[in-house]
Amino acid sequence: MHFDYCTTASIDFIFLDEATFSAILQHPDLTITSEERVLNAVLLWCLQAKEVLSIYFCPLCASRYFHMPYLRSWRGAILAGQIPIFDYLVKEAINFSESKLVSPENDQNVRFQHRRSSFKELQFICDGDSNGVLYFSGTSYGEHQWVNPVLAKKITTSASSPISRYTDPKVLVSRSYQGTSFAGPRIEDGRNSTWWMIDIGHEHQIMCNYYTLRQDGSRAYIRSWNFQGSMDGKSWTNLRVHENDQTMCKPGQFASWPIVAPNALLPFRFFRVILTAPTTDASNPWNFCICFLELYGYFR
């Protein structure tokens, strides 16, 4: 299991004994998304253990690979003043980030080495940005200029209703505004079911921590829906549940929502948004009217 999920989904790891926790942190196959999460786990563990153990465990974090904003937030913090070794590591990491130098005699130290990470960080910046996973797929994962990832055969998109003039799944990742774009309802288990779905391919997964939708030109605003992930496209996990969400209120509007841990640390191949109640449109209440979807998080 991924280190981040094990230390976020449950805090039972704080009861591990010193030898076991040390062995995990130094294991050559330890996979993480960021060193910041390792430090968070170490500090949480140290609160449960003897305070002096922070002198031993803090140096096991590859502090030189912390992100600069994170480092600066720790500089001068109360914790840094209380734990001298932590204050030293923060200053060391800042100096390294500014100089990009590593001492040859120390290059075997765990703090100077990248830990294994099979994930690429693609984080949300703002509505409609070019930092998402689906945009990245359209560049063949950073190899060339962007093209629609469906046309490039990097991902597939689908809808609950058949393809038509106004139900074109590839539009969802085209980055072009559409005045009319909707998925219509189908009957599943005896009731209306309306959804848009993304398949990023059998070789890829996302630990999704943010997603964005864009309303088409209609006033059929969604109010209750689920954002879900799946590994097989059949069994679905709710990543975020929206009930009477009033966010969407203008034609063409972007809106984005975070996914809260531990769900944000679950990797999935398939993602979908599915209506759980009618929209504000009385004439076609089960049409899901959006023209854009983007995913963010850790991609591999």
Out of 1.10.3470, 1.10.357, 1.25.40, 1.10.10, which CATH number does the structure's domain 3-112 have? 1.25.40
Return mean pLDDT, the chain: 83
Higher-confidence residue of 292 and 82: namely 292
pLDDT-wise least confident of 36-45, 60-69, 137-146, 206-215: 60-69
Cis-peptide into 262, omega within 30 deg: yes
CA angle 210, 206, 276 (to 5 degrees): 55
User: Read out DSSP for the chain?
Assistant: --HHHHHHS--GGGGS-HHHHHHHHT-TT-B-S-HHHHHHHHHHHHHHS-GGGHHHHGGGS-GGGS-HHHHHHHTT-HHHHH-HHHHHHHHHHHHHHHH----GGGTTSGGGSPPB---EEE---STT-S-SHHHHHHTTTTTSS---TTTTTS-EEEESS---SS--GGGGGS----SS-EEPPEEETTEEE-EEEEE--TT--EEEEEEEEEE-SS-----SEEEEEESSSSS-EEEEEESS-----STT-EEEEE--TTGGG-EESEEEEEESS--S-SSSTT-EEEEEEEEEEEE-
pLDDT the model gives residue 37: 72
pLDDT at 203: 92
Length of the chain: 300
The backbone torsions φ and ψ at residue 191, rounded to the nearest 5 degrees and listed phi first, read -145, 165
Residues 6+ apart with CB under 8 A from 88: none
Domains of the chain, residue spans: 3-112, 120-299
**Is there a contact between 246 and 278 (Cβ–Cβ < 8 Å)?**
no
Q: How far does Cα 125 stand from its chain's mean position?
A: 12
In this structure, what token pair is assigned to residue 247? 């966010």
pLDDT tens across 159-209, in order?
999 999 999 999 999 999 999 999 999 999 899 999 999 999 999 999 999
What average pLDDT score do residues 133-143 get?
A: 95
pLDDT of residue 102 exceeding 50, the answer is: no
Pick among 3.40.50.970, 2.60.120.260, 2.40.40.20, 3.40.30.10: CATH of 120-299: 2.60.120.260
3-112 and 120-299, same CATH topology: no
Assign 42 a pLDDT band (cuts: 50, 70, 90).
Answer: confident
The sign one gets for the Cα dihedral 128, 131, 232, 224 is negative
Q: Assess contact for 271 and 161: CB atoms under 8 A.
A: no
